[in-house]
Amino acid sequence: MADGNRISGSLSLIKKDMAFGAVDTVEWDDLRPASSDVPNPCSIGTLKGLRVTVSMPNPGAKLVRRNQAVAMRQRRAWPGNFAPGRALLTTGDSVGPISLAFSPLILGGGAQIQPDRIGPFVAAVSAFDAAGRRLARFTLRGTSTDDADDSAPFIGIRDSQRRIARIELDVPGEPFAIDRFDVAF
């Protein structure tokens, strides 16, 4: 668990998107319209054109594009604590992780994250090198609400040596959603 930024060798847990130093972003509304199933795997570009392959380990699992609810009981919207109207990527009814693969290698990435329920939870972020070896894994405690107030916790990972080929985000054992994915390269 980490209560602040934690370091493992050249890798560190990042808990605030502003502290992350992102230079690019994956916006999920570029993937599909809200309430649409998303192929597993799929490819999407960042705002600056970096290609990202997004997948879940179970080939039968489907990703789903949703929006954060603006008002309570908004049909087919995510009733969480992301900013109102934000484009989200969810694991649907499946458990994660959501995996994002990059080429070329990146310095790091992260996103706001929330499970599909209200209450306390633990999120995880892992980074892997080009050979598939896990470089580090960090966890973070958060609280899930339906306040639509942009308070969903940010979890990210950064490597000072630019060895990251893949990042996995997870709320172990639970369906979850992530907001835009910030990338540093």
Would you state the pLDDT for residue 10?
A: 87
Residue 145 is part of which domain span?
Answer: 7-184
Going from the C-alpha of 58 to that of each of 3, 93, 169, the distances in angstroms are 31, 12, 15
Would you state the pLDDT for residue 151?
A: 96
Would you state the pLDDT for residue 74?
A: 60
Specify if 2 maps to a domain.
Answer: no
Would you state the pLDDT for residue 109?
A: 96
Specify if 53 maps to a domain.
Answer: yes
Identify the CA nearest to 21 among candidates 151, 140, 152, 110: 110
* pLDDT tens, residue by residue, 90-122: 999 999 999 999 989 999 999 999 999 999 999
What does the block give as tokens for 154? 């940010």
Identify the CA nearest to 183 among candidates 111, 96, 129: 111
Would you state the pLDDT for residue 159?
A: 94
Specify if 18 maps to a domain.
Answer: yes
Specify if 1 maps to a domain.
Answer: no
Strands (E), 11-118: 11-14, 24-26, 36-38, 42-45, 51-55, 63-67, 87-90, 98-106, 108-115
Specify if 106 maps to a domain.
Answer: yes
Would you state the pLDDT for residue 97?
A: 98
For the chain, the domain total comes to: 1
Contact partners, residue 58, CB within 8 Å, separation at least 6: 94
Identify the CA nearest to 154 among candidates 50, 10, 1, 19: 19
Q: Which residues of the chain have pLDDT under 50?
A: 1-7
d(CA 8, CA 130): 18
Q: The pTM is what? A: 0.92
pLDDT > 90 in the chain, percent:
78
Q: What is the CATH number of the domain that holds 79?
A: 2.60.120
Instruction: Please name the amino acid found at residue 161.
Output: Q
Specify if 68 maps to a domain.
Answer: yes
Would you state the pLDDT for residue 4?
A: 42
